[in-house]
Structure 1
Amino acid sequence: MSIPAKQNDKIKVSGVILVDKPYGLTSQQVVSKVKYLFKSPNHDSKKAGHTGTLDPMATGLLPICLGEATKFSHYQLDADKSYQATILLGGQTDTGDAQGQVVATASVPTFDAAALEQLAQQFLGAQQQIPPMYSALKKDGKKLYEYARAGIDVVREPRDIIIRSIRLTALDHEQIQLTVTCSKGTYVRVLGEDIAKALGTLGHLTALRRLQVGSFKVDNAITLSALEDLPLAERFTQLMPIDACIEIPAQMTLTAEQCQRVHMGQRLNVSAQLTDELQAYISQNIRQSASSQVVEATAAHETTVSNTALASDVPVDIRLLDEQGQFLGLGAVSLNGRLQPKKLIQR
């Protein structure tokens, strides 16, 4: 349970809650409901947000950040996500799912488990995907689905995505179950359409459920109805800590004086607090960051980057704790011992 903080004579609700989103509600409607369920004359729950939109038709895991936890929600926005979907073959809809209108039909070829396994392998790895018109992405300040509803088709740039794992299972002669783990920005509706086309037909999703976001799993989520049935005091037991979205293992404990200084935005010299373990962690992250920037570089350039990779002034994010073990926020520390406060919470 997160430690609440006083604000404007009210306790500011802070933490992360995993909600099993029901069918039919938008992600923002779920956030609004959660805010309401944590609100009271003594509690302020105005600040809240989710870590990645689910379509109204979709169900499953929706992590919601409240209060100070919203500062770290982007760590889950960037996380890989896992889904299970049902693809109905033989018809394409304008939205890519069952909520749209059928715009084209095609015959469904016969297929077996071996064919589906071979097909799945074609979709593994890095690739590009064109976002659907029925999406919340914006073009010239207007959401794409607004253009789509007006009958306007907008040119969309392809986006880089990665399919980490994929499994296709036949449910019957015209339905396939898709289980996939993918990078951020992947539209499962588009993936379903592409799989159908690769089979030589058309298709759309009739069901979509998110199973996992980063290390969060839907098995640990609570439904809105179950949350509503709990007394207010017990709802707080469902809150995970403020830093639950952060998957950074490295941490440093600061003295009381150092805590005061970082809260004033001051940099610190923490050379004496850089353990061998911390130094190894910083060096490893610097190398990984440098390596990702030179995948297509020349050998000469790689040598230059390799020398730069161990530069003592390159900062790496770590957790900051006080002497009582409470989470303070994030700081960026370099091998030369310079610590810059980055995102700190208020208690």
Structure 2
Amino acid sequence: MRENKLTKTRNILLSALAAVTLAGTSVLPALADDTASTTTTAGSFTKTYTLTLPANEDAANYASPAETFTFSSGEFGATKTTANEASLAAVKNTTWNTATDTVQELSALDSTTQTAIAAAVPATVTLDTAAYTASGAATTAGNAVAVNVTTKGTYKNPGVYYYDFHEVAGTTAGVTYSENSYRVALNVKNDNGTFKISSVKLVNKYTGNKVDSITNTYGAGKLSFTKKVSGNTGDTTKKFTVTVTLTSDKTVKSTIFVDGINAPDASQLTRIDPDWTGTKKLTYTVVDGTTITLRNIPAGVSWLVMEADYSKDGYDTTYSLATGGTASTSDLTKTIPMVAGQDNAVTITNTRDTTIDTGIFTSNAPYFMILGIAVIGGIAYFAANKKRHA
């Protein structure tokens, strides 16, 4: 009998709580669980890492850098809080009033509602990082990994619980980071009296539409330069010095591969190791017909190709640029940012032309002209003298 009275008292308290009004709606936040909080892997969403490189190039020469993508709660641009968290921001189709079994639909949680339900609903969920090793990107659909979503605590009512988060922008050269704001939607269903997470979906925060994946891209390009010597006195065996300058304000974590054709010094064709920021200057010795190629230069890294001054040797130097097979009018005295998937081909032409002295039609011509006149005059004198004596 005493137990029945306690039960009736509890029901009266629940009915009284049902009259609590939040934002003009009579709702009842679920009571806090007396048991210890539990940790559950609710599900996952997909993270994809893709590769962009010039056409007809071997992906082996465009190795993407190792990268670990991380997340933070709130919208993109917000101050980073606890790493790899998403924060509760909206609830939909959720039964809050257990006394009347009324379904309330809240598009967003204001501060009052947030406080009311904080005791019963996990305020945050934890997101795994998405780690890729070197060469972890792919050339087509991309390399997809699952990002697990973990909850701590229990849900007391069915419905869809939305948690806001964004990707944290990194500083790796050539890698694009998502600047969108996302929501991970946890669908909680009643399973024979126990509320369980039945699915996890990634959605656009503003449209609510499902998003297949958060996609990041590593983009890189190619730079080559070819030496040509021309002119009637151009020396095709002469060695010229060319300097390639690479500049990056982000960390270059990519290996840049170098190879060449007709290079007089093969020891120069060494790869450029990763993990540097600022400026790299690379010097190459070339001759007529030499082509040096640098592959896997991350997008955003600026480049400049400059030959030493050979004007004192009588050479006139010109530069031309073809990007993807199309001639460009770019100013090659200034640095040019690399574009993902771009193929830049610079041609350096040294021309030396000299007017050849034949010794007849140049400096000696006046003397031969005077001699000719003298000979003609002599012939005329002897002819006139002979005629007079006759």
TM-score with structure 1 length normalisation?
0.21
Larger RCO (CA under 8 A, 6+ residues apart): 1
Give 1 or 2 for the bigger CA radius of gyration. 2
Higher share in strand:
2
TM-score norm. by structure 2 comes to 0.19
